[in-house]
A = this chain, B = another copy of it.
Amino acid sequence: MTLLLLSNSTAPGRGYLEHALEEIHSVAGEAREILFVPFALADHASYTAQVAAALAPSGFSVTGLHEADDAPGAIAAAELIFVGGGNTFRLVDALHRHGLIDPIRSAVAAGIPYLGSSAGTNVACPSLRTTNDMPIVQPPTFDTLGLVPFQINPHYLDPDPSSRHQGETRELRILQYLEENPGPVLGLREGTWLRRDGNRLHLGGTPAGGRLFSRGSSPQEIPVGTDLSTMLSSS
């Protein structure tokens, strides 16, 4: 199983996916045809065109899953599956409504590399319960792909000590998650990613790193480069 789970698609001042291109090439191997899952945004065609334009200079061709007559068949035949960001609730609703959860799980188990960013990273977890997104649609269930056995919080954001905003900080939201669920939750700061190759898992990307939240422990800083393989057997 090969996964590349990006916190976010676009680094400040850089093009779409530009900060992660080298890593994307690494997980793609020989693959040059990307099957793109655009369901987290409303306009599937223009989202797919944007991704295709961004990845064409790198030698990738991109097809949107919304164009497939036989979506499960397209998934099974894919060289690489890329689930893009947007609204996680809309994405999860579409994956369930179109019956795509099991086909994607099977394809990834069979070795087709999975690339996710933001919402696409969230749905690689057991559930959407650690998304930052607004619940604009009600999916039939919060359960998602479970390609890793723990939760990720993409776009993880440290508290801003200068803020006068009275809404919950991200850390407080995740601690509330741990009140209701066993955890753990890995917050991925922007520019970072998780890479899984079989039973190996590590944190990559910018030095910002990650932050790990576990029940009964203080939150823990995770530097980029950390081997997190033990988290694959955590549940």
Q: A166's contact among B12, B86, B130, B177, by CB below 8 Å, is which? A: B12
Q: Are B176 and A134 in contact (CB under 8 A)?
A: yes
* Chain B nearest CB, measured from A13 CB (Å): 9
A128-152 vs B, CB cutoff 8 Å, 1 = contact: the mask equals 1111111111100110000000000
Q: Are A136 and B166 in contact (CB under 8 A)?
A: no
Q: Are B167 and A8 in contact (CB under 8 A)?
A: yes
User: Which of A10, A141, A180 is packed against the most chain B CB atoms within 10 Å?
Assistant: A180
Q: Give Cα A134 to B151, complex, Å.
A: 13
Q: Is A98 an interface residue (CB 8 A)?
A: no
Q: Is A11 an interface residue (CB 8 A)?
A: yes
Q: A179's contact among B42, B129, B135, by CB below 8 Å, is which? A: B42
Q: A165's contact among B89, B173, B177, B190, by CB below 8 Å, is which? A: B190
Q: Give Cα A12 to B133, complex, Å.
A: 26
Q: Give Cα A179 to B176, complex, Å.
A: 29
Q: A129's contact among B86, B118, B134, B181, by CB below 8 Å, is which? A: B134
Q: Are B8 and A166 in contact (CB under 8 A)?
A: yes
Chain A contact residue count (CB 8 A cutoff): 40
By a CB distance below 8 angstroms, the chain B residues around A141 are 138
Copies in the complex: 2
Within 8 A of B (CB), among A70-100: 86-87, 89-90
Q: Is A67 an interface residue (CB 8 A)?
A: no
Q: Who on chain B is nearest to A137 by CB?
A: B180
**Are A176 and B8 CB-contacts (below 8 A) given A157-B165, A166-B155?**
no
Q: Are A136 and B177 in contact (CB under 8 A)?
A: yes
Q: Are A12 and B164 in contact (CB under 8 A)?
A: yes
Q: Could you list which residues of chain A lie within 8 angstroms of chain B, going by C-beta atoms?
A: 8-12, 42, 86-87, 89-90, 118, 127-138, 141-142, 155, 157, 164-168, 173-174, 176-177, 179-181, 190
User: Could you list some 18 contacts between A and B, CB below 8 A?
Assistant: A9-B166, A42-B176, A42-B180, A87-B173, A89-B135, A118-B167, A127-B138, A131-B135, A132-B167, A134-B177, A135-B135, A135-B142, A136-B176, A136-B179, A136-B180, A136-B181, A165-B190, A166-B190
